[in-house]
Amino acid sequence: MKISNELKVGITIVVAITIFIFGVRYFEDLPLFQTTYSLTAEFDNAAGLIAGNLVRVHGVSVGSVNAVGISDETGKVEVQFHVDRKIIVTEGSYAVVSGIDALGAVRMDLFLGPRDAAPIPEGGLVGAGEGNDLFGDLTARAPAMVQKFDDVLSGLDQVLSETGTMLSEPNSDLRSSLASVRGSVAQLERLLTEERTRISSILRNVEDATGSIKTLSAENGPSVTKLISDLSVTMATLDKELISLGDASRGLTELLNKINEGQGTLGKLVNDPSMYHKMDSTLTGINALLADFKANPGKYLGEMKLVDLF
C-alpha cells in the first residue's frame, strides 16, 4: 500500500504535536496522563521564586510553580502552583520558599498537614510558613556577616600595617626585641660552641651514671627486692604502731576531756578551787605556827620534855 503524501504529513504533524505537549509537560514536571491539583500560596516575600521552580514535599519533587505575582487585593505575593493528585494537601499544610536566589536554586517546600484533616479544595489557599532552612538563614544573615568580616579584615589590615611600621622603624620596640632575641640566640650559640666539649662530657657522665645505676640494679636485683619487701614489712608494722598510738592518743584525749569536765578525783583536783583555798589557809596556819615556834620554842618544847627522852 502506498502511503499518500497527505497521510505522511498528517502523521508527522500529529507525532510532533504529541511530542511537543508531552515534552513540555515532562519538563514542567507535570504527570503525562493525569491532571494535577492547583493551589495558591501567599507570601510576604517570594525570595526569587519564579514560574517553573519545583514544589517539594519532604524533598521529593511533586509539582512546580505556575505563576508568581503580586495580589491586587492583599498586596502580598501570590504563588500559583500545582502538585500531583496523589499528594493530598490537607488543612494545616504550609509552604516555605527556600534555597539561594543567587544560585538560582529557589524552590518551594510544602509541609503537609495532618493526614486525617480535610483536604484543601482545588485552587485553595495554602498558608505560608517560616523558612527554617540553612541557606535561607545564610542569605538573610549574609550582610551582617559580610560587615563583620569586613571589620575583621580592616582590623587585620591595621594590625599588619602597624606591624609593618614597627618593623620598618629602626627604634621600635619590636625591632629592639628582635635584636635582643637575636643577640641571645647568638650568645647561646657561642656558649654551645665554646662549651661543646664540656657539655658532651657532662652528657657522657650522665650516661655513665645512668648506665651504672642500670648495671647496679641489674646485679643487685634480688637484694634490692628483699630490701624493698623488708621495708614494706617495716612500714606495715609502723602502720600498726601508728594505729595503736592513735588509740592511745584518743584515750588520752578522753581522759583529758574528763579531767576538764571535772569528773573523777583528778578532775576535781584540777577544777575545784576549794582545795586550793583550804591548802592555802592550812599553809598560812602552818606559817604562823612556825613563826610562833621560832619565837617561843619553849612554849612548845617545854611540854615535850626533850631532855627526858635522852
* Position 246 contacts another protein (CB under 8 A): no
By beta-carbon proximity to another protein, the closer residue of 20 and 276 is 20
Contact status, residue 24 vs residue 39, Cβ threshold 8 Å: no
Q: Rounded distance, CA 58 to CA 30, Å?
A: 18
The distance of closest approach from Cβ of residue 46 to another protein in the complex, given in angstroms and rounded to an integer, is: 16
| Type of residue numbered 154 | S
The distance of closest approach from Cβ of residue 23 to another protein in the complex, given in angstroms and rounded to an integer, is: 6
Q: Which residues pair with 81 in a beta bridge?
A: 39, 65
Range in contact with another protein (rule: CB under 8 A) among 14-22, 86-94, 188-196, 267-275: 14-22
The distance of closest approach from Cβ of residue 50 to another protein in the complex, given in angstroms and rounded to an integer, is: 8
Q: Rounded distance, CA 296 to CA 105, Å?
A: 135
Contact status, residue 81 vs residue 55, Cβ threshold 8 Å: yes
The distance of closest approach from Cβ of residue 19 to another protein in the complex, given in angstroms and rounded to an integer, is: 5
Residue 94 phi/psi, 5-degree rounding, is: -145, 160
Give residues with Cβ within 8 angstroms of 105, minimum separation 6.
Answer: 99
* Position 277 contacts another protein (CB under 8 A): no
* Position 2 contacts another protein (CB under 8 A): no
Give the SS3 label for residue 135.
helix
Range in contact with another protein (rule: CB under 8 A) among 24-32, 73-81, 85-93, 213-221: 24-32
The distance of closest approach from Cβ of residue 53 to another protein in the complex, given in angstroms and rounded to an integer, is: 7
List, as own/partner pairs, every contact residues 182-188 make where C-beta atoms lie below 8 angstroms and the sequence separation is at least 24, other chains included: none
* Position 16 contacts another protein (CB under 8 A): yes
- Counting residues that bind another protein (by CB under 8 A) gives 26
Give the x/- contact pattern for another protein in 107-146, rule: CB under 8 A: x---------------------------------------
Give the x/- contact pattern for another protein in 54-93, rule: CB under 8 A: x------x--x-----------------------------
By beta-carbon proximity to another protein, the closer residue of 107 and 120 is 107
Strand-strand pairing, 60-70 and 54-57:
antiparallel
Give me the residue label for grid cell 627522852. 309
Contact status, residue 120 vs residue 37, Cβ threshold 8 Å: no
The distance of closest approach from Cβ of residue 159 to another protein in the complex, given in angstroms and rounded to an integer, is: 31
Give residues with Cβ within 8 angstroms of 26, minimum separation 6.
Answer: 32
Give the binding site for another protein (CB under 8 A).
4-6, 8-9, 12-13, 16-17, 19-20, 23-24, 27-29, 50-54, 61, 64, 104-105, 107
